[in-house]
Chains A and B, each alone.
Chain A
Amino acid sequence: GQQVMQIPQYQHVQEGEDFTTYCNSSTTLSNIQWYKQRPGGHPVFLIQLVKSGEVKKQKRLTFQFGEAKKNSSLHITATQTTDVGTYFCAAPPRNSGGSNYKLTFGKGTLLTVNP
């Protein structure tokens, strides 16, 4: 099945530093979603990217979808302790017509922030 590779697996930063997690696929993705899971919590939807080269911003978070639609990134500017958690990307399988019924999740990047 399709795989989305997410790196790094862990990232520890000092509060105020920037953070980036990357999601890569060997195949073209119809769309990609990003979720955040706080420690002990459940995943919460952040954003969906659909168009080639798309860039979306949510306050200090910037999401990008590559021109070839094979990779995506989430960048956090000036991290805060509230950013702690695991960030997952998720994408539908190939030849699904864009249907997200069988999303494939990356393994996630665990972000810890030292205050």
Chain B
Amino acid sequence: DGGITQSPKYLFRKEGQNVTLSCEQNLNHDAMYWYRQDPGQGLRLIYYSQIVNDFQKGDIAEGYSVSREKKESFPLTVTSAQKNPTAFYLCASSTGQGGYMEYSGANVLTFGAGSRLTVL
């Protein structure tokens, strides 16, 4: 079955350590995204990638880094510079048909199951 796989599901890290969250999709989607979710909050966009070897900052990119070397993969590194990294991280993908799409169903997001990061 096609979908998005995030790993690990739970992760604990000490302050000052970098950690990388994995996101793999087999949906043949061009676009991939990383969102952060905090209790009682909506989803906030960290980074997104419209195509391989290209990515853009979202609203809260500081303290995070990404790469997009393969279409299927979009790993997120939470660096020690991220002041409050404890959160639920969601990876998503979409067909990525941007531009004027008022009458299309493009860019509907398919989410992975998420990775819950706790900093001790």
Given A98-B101, A102-B45, decide whether A44 and B111 contact each other with a Cβ distance below 8 A.
Answer: yes
Which B residues between 38 and 73 are near A, CB-CB below 8 angstroms? 40-45, 48, 50, 56, 58-59
Q: Is A63 an interface residue (CB 8 A)?
A: no
B59 cross-chain contacts in A, Cβ below 8 A: 1, 102
Q: Is A50 an interface residue (CB 8 A)?
A: yes
B94 touches A43 (CB 8 A): no
B48 touches A105 (CB 8 A): no
A107 touches B42 (CB 8 A): yes
Which A residues between 1 and 51 are near B, CB-CB below 8 angstroms? 1, 6, 9, 30-31, 33, 35, 41-45, 48, 50
Q: How many residues of A contact B (CB 8 A)?
A: 27
Complex CA distance for A35 and B42, rounded to whole angstroms: 11
A105 to chain B, nearest CB (A): 4
A42 touches B103 (CB 8 A): no
B56 cross-chain contacts in A, Cβ below 8 A: 101
B114 cross-chain contacts in A, Cβ below 8 A: 42
Q: Is B11 an interface residue (CB 8 A)?
A: no
Q: Is A85 an interface residue (CB 8 A)?
A: no
Pick the contact of A45 from B58, B103, B109, B112 — CB < 8 Å? B109
A101 touches B50 (CB 8 A): yes
Complex CA distance for A85 and B112, rounded to whole angstroms: 17
Complex CA distance for A48 and B95, rounded to whole angstroms: 15
Complex CA distance for A107 and B105, rounded to whole angstroms: 23
Provide the B84-106 mask, 1 if CB < 8 A to any CB of A, else 0: 00000010001010111111011
Provide the A76-103 mask, 1 if CB < 8 A to any CB of B, else 0: 0000000000001010000001111111
Q: Is B108 an interface residue (CB 8 A)?
A: yes
Pick the contact of B42 from A41, A100, A101, A108 — CB < 8 Å? A108
* Given contact pairs A98-B100, A101-B98, a sample of 9 additional A-B residue pairs in the complex whose CB atoms are under 8 Å apart: A33-B109, A43-B90, A97-B98, A99-B107, A100-B98, A101-B107, A102-B45, A105-B42, A107-B40
> Would you list 15 pairs from A and B whose C-beta atoms are within 8 A, ordered by A residue?
A6-B42, A31-B102, A33-B109, A35-B109, A42-B111, A45-B109, A88-B43, A90-B43, A98-B99, A101-B107, A102-B58, A102-B59, A103-B109, A106-B42, A107-B42
